[in-house]
Chain A
């Protein structure tokens, strides 16, 4: 953006993103090759500041990475001890019997309920001990490509004013040049998007499909706390065309993690994921866990739900995509931490291999993935999410039970995703408005008091990081046809329509953005482009998230 000379620094490997994938890759690199210089940047103000997850995690990849994780004090403290899968009607609930037979992917023996943010902070200390240089508060803003090879990234300029000019505190960005660059930005990475376009990595694969997860952490009275309890639900309040469900995990010291995930291929433009997640708490099956407690944290994040069918080519000259950036999440399990970590570890191995043989592309990564348990796991899971997209919630559930029991995931066919999530919204006049209850201030809340709990902060005087590419298109499509769906799907109240009656205009309250990436995914014409704001901006999720 600016012509000032940027400083630059050379590393063997540059990693963009400090989630489980990036941190596992960094650790693996230094374990395999202690001389390799590894630099990791994270846009959050500290590691974990932008992490939203459930999270029930499988310790499999962690045990492979750091076999003595228990002795090292990994914050995996609550083992799953009981679990329930509920099918909800508006007032009642049915428990799915024989969970491990009908829905084996939902069985959680041996897994742990954690705060993934805390796990990431711990992984970061492990990585630093091994000599990884970690720089939180710096966002990768630009991919550096020279002679068709990715040669690193540049961090964003700091201190640019709202008008786009250098302010009194201006600091130019810095080039972090790496022989190899790993993109570990999580779901819908902004640089990943550019790399995929440049190298056409999505050629011949299904469109990626996404979900939006909104989560709260509650502190409940000790007598209500049942550490180790895992509860999932499907059915109400989602209709049959909408994929969605809720989770509730008791963990830590009187904490309960409650969240709701909705498939972003939902057709009803009036649907508000935020209000669905709020009203679900009023259902007796959830109310009984939370009543009498207080909400201590709030956050939201998109997740990649396309699975194997939507996975792009993983490598390109100068680097690879890992974790949720590539779409390694196991959807029916809603677990992506163990696969993200494993993908990072395999990429590290491929990079070390490429470094030794001086190849530009760490191409053995793909083969390593195919030979690993990750591939087997994702293959088994591959038909479940598309079955829901195709047959609806009830038949999709039946399909997935049959798939699990008869074929054990090895059905001789593969179901495909036909549409990208932004293409399936129906016009406002053709869909019915749900009737959402008003927040009661006890169990249910409005958006603004929720964003407040995410401790989101962006330097005020900076350019708006959400780009509406074509303003006219907003009026003719978003407003005229869909009545501004962004005002409903954005979980942080960033989008508002002003002057609705006379001359409707879109107002963007960018400082509230929690970096969930939903607008970048769901906007009907892909007219909204999410770019990184100034480093350290965004949520500051507290302990427990």
Chain B
């Protein structure tokens, strides 16, 4: 079985994002970018399935700017076999991504697509679900555990207050949650080897997909600053403040 893993290049999770002065978005010029952490988990899971013999090939795909090839190289250093870069504008919308992925699936015919549950830049949490919808495949979102059996996959889903077990017929779409696994480091020897693994570059137009934006960003703002706390001298003062200033009692 072949597994396709879409990986997104996003602002590194260590970076404190800075909203552009004109409120049109988050500053990305010169900002450190790396693989969306949930996608690292997805890559790790696919590589483990291959190591266990449940999969035969892991293909990683990124849709975005030229520099996304660094992200793909990292995924290959973790163990993916080859990569496809689909050139498009930076951070396309989930529906556009899902459509491109559908075209890639038609080309590659994988038995499974494993995505991250959400990308940490726009937190859409939508691409996996949209892709499953477009393909008409079953979906196991927020996966905390994945077990492949004959022609099907069992997924433990992380839901409020517990887990839900679902069994899906293959082919299927899975989205990775935080506890699915702990991704490995890309070791230096593997990074060196990944430079020689195949990376194919395509254009969105080649795939015949329309990626025109349908969403408009109205404005982006930083969360309001929290007011500084105060120390109260006594219980009486606390009660007084809660009643007269905070007006909660």
Residues of A within 8 A of B (CB): 7, 9, 45-46, 49, 115, 117-118, 121, 133, 135, 138, 155, 158-159, 168-169, 171, 173-174, 219, 254, 296, 441, 452-453, 455, 457, 540, 542-544
Contacts and interface: CB of A to CB of B under 8 A. Distances in A.
B21 interface: yes
Candidate in B21, B29, B188, B192 with the most chain A CB atoms within 10 angstroms? B188
A158 B187 CA distance: 8
Given A540-B15, A542-B15, A158 B185 contact: yes
A46 B32 contact: yes
B184 A543 contact: no
Contacts of B161: none
Contacts of A155: 188
A540 B31 CA distance: 9
A219 B188 contact: no
Given A219-B21, A540-B12, A168 B187 contact: no
Contact of A171 (B16, B30, B182, B187): B187
Contact of A543 (B29, B191, B192): B29
Contacts of A118: 30
A124 B80 CA distance: 26
B32 A254 contact: no
B27 interface: yes
B69 to A, nearest CB: 12
Using C-beta atoms within 8 Å of the partner chain, give the interface range for chain B: 20 to 34
A542 B30 contact: yes
B18 interface: yes
B234 interface: no
B189 interface: yes
B30 A543 contact: yes
B184 A169 contact: yes
B232 to A, nearest CB: 20
Contacts of A135: 188, 191-192
A441 B225 CA distance: 12
Nearest to B183: A169
A159 B188 contact: no
Consensus secondary structure, chain B interface: loop
B184 A542 contact: no
B175 to A, nearest CB: 23
Nearest to B18: A296
A543 B18 CA distance: 11
21 contacts: A45-B12, A115-B30, A135-B188, A135-B191, A138-B188, A158-B185, A158-B187, A168-B182, A171-B185, A171-B187, A174-B187, A174-B189, A254-B21, A441-B228, A453-B16, A455-B14, A455-B15, A540-B12, A540-B15, A543-B30, A544-B30
* Pairs of residues from A and B, 7 with the lowest C-beta to C-beta distance, nearest first: A543-B30, A171-B187, A174-B188, A7-B189, A457-B14, A158-B185, A455-B14
Given A169-B182, A169-B184, A543 B31 contact: yes
B187 A45 contact: no
Contacts of B32: 45-46, 49, 540, 542
Contact of B27 (A133, A457, A543): A543
B239 to A, nearest CB: 28
Contacts of B27: 543
B192 A9 contact: yes
Consensus secondary structure, chain A interface: mixed
Contacts of A457: 14
Nearest to B222: A294
Contacts of A452: 16
Interface in B1-37: 12, 14-16, 18, 21, 27, 29-32, 34
Contacts of B184: 169, 171
A314 B162 CA distance: 63
Nearest to B70: A46
Nearest to B187: A171
Given A45-B12, A171-B185, A219-B21, 10 more contacts: A115-B30, A135-B191, A158-B185, A169-B185, A174-B188, A174-B189, A455-B15, A542-B31, A542-B32, A543-B29
A455 B195 CA distance: 29
A45 to B, nearest CB: 7
Contacts of A542: 15-16, 18, 30-32
Nearest to B192: A9
Contacts of B18: 296, 542
A219 B19 CA distance: 12
Contacts of A254: 21
A169 B182 CA distance: 8
Contacts of B14: 45, 455, 457, 540
Contacts of B195: 133
Contacts of B29: 543
Contacts of B34: 45
A45 B27 CA distance: 19
A159 B29 CA distance: 32
A155 B18 CA distance: 33
A540 B16 CA distance: 10
A248 to B, nearest CB: 20
A46 B188 CA distance: 14
A155 B188 CA distance: 9
A296 B15 CA distance: 11
Contacts of B189: 7, 9, 174
Contacts of A544: 30
Contacts of B191: 135
A219 B21 CA distance: 9
A133 B27 CA distance: 29
A519 B18 CA distance: 31
A213 B215 CA distance: 45
Interface in B47-89: none
A234 B223 CA distance: 39
Nearest to A176: B188
A542 B30 CA distance: 7
A121 B70 CA distance: 14
Interface in B160-205: 182, 184-185, 187-189, 191-192, 195
B185 A455 contact: no
A455 B182 CA distance: 22
B122 to A, nearest CB: 20
A77 to B, nearest CB: 12
A139 to B, nearest CB: 11
A364 to B, nearest CB: 31
B144 to A, nearest CB: 18
Contacts of A117: 30
A124 B18 CA distance: 25
B216 to A, nearest CB: 25
A7 B192 CA distance: 12
